[in-house]
Amino acid sequence: MSTIPAFGLGTFRLKEQEVIDSVTNGLELGYRHIDTAQIYGNEADVGKAIAAAGVARKDLFVTTKIWTDNLGKDKLIPSLKESLDKLRTEQVDLTLIHWPSPNDAIAVATYMEALAEARAQRLTRLIGVSNFTIAHLQQAIAAVGAAEIATLQVEIHPFLQNRKVVEFARAQGIHLTAYMPLAYGKVMTDPTLIGIAKAHQANPAQIALAWSLQQGFATIPSSTKRANLESNLAAQKIVLSDADMQAITKLDKGERLANPDFAPQWD
């Protein structure tokens, strides 16, 4: 898979048997894009579930992310090798810088160059970034070139549409991946999404996912329930009207859920 599959399975907050079950069910249902990270503490269990599923490695797209402690020039590649061991693979499909270095203690160019070197060593097929502001993205582009950045993964859902960053990334030709597309389930209780869902004989989660996919984002919802994993996958078949899309656009409240104390100054 040379491009990033539009639909994937997020594993944030899933641990041990819970993540094994989620990935196992996901792969059985047809998911082929699995997203994990060093800080999730579940790479080994994700690797175990993938190995047991028996899906050919070439048919899978596996993403991991370098944690902020490992952004130093001498740490990034060894940490990625450790991730590969846990994931039981010689190469991941995509490696992202999970967050910019807190307080920019380490220059963006330092870790982007190390990430590019990891790719040159064939530890990862593609490289990208996550939770970057426009300023961080500009520095990353200056370091490795926009064409080398396979995606920018950021929080995008109906209540946080992150338009400034989205527009900037698109102007540079950088693809976007939307994480937390269901806003931790908050989409399920929104009256607008409930109304649109009824019209499409769907559920609000499927509508939120269809909205994301229709904008060309890759989207990576997570779920522990097999029924929800299956239902989320079906969102790919829903086509929203312009009126539906516009109604959802109006739900933007700048409501950010992933905002740790080390987060950058958002745009």
In a domain, 160, yes or no: yes
For residue 17, what is the domain's CATH number?
A: 3.20.20.100
Q: Of residues 31, 40, 111, 179, which has the active-site annotation?
A: 40
- pLDDT at position 190 is 98
- pLDDT at position 180 is 97
Domain holding 88, by residue range, is 9-184+211-223
In a domain, 146, yes or no: yes
Question: How many domains does the chain contain in total?
Answer: 1
In a domain, 265, yes or no: no
Question: Would residue 31 show up in a list of annotated catalytic residues for this protein?
Answer: no
pTM over 0.95: yes
- pLDDT at position 2 is 57
CA 173 from centroid of its chain's CA atoms: 18
In a domain, 55, yes or no: yes
Residues with pLDDT less than 50, the chain: 1
In a domain, 261, yes or no: no
In a domain, 233, yes or no: no
In a domain, 84, yes or no: yes
- pLDDT at position 1 is 45
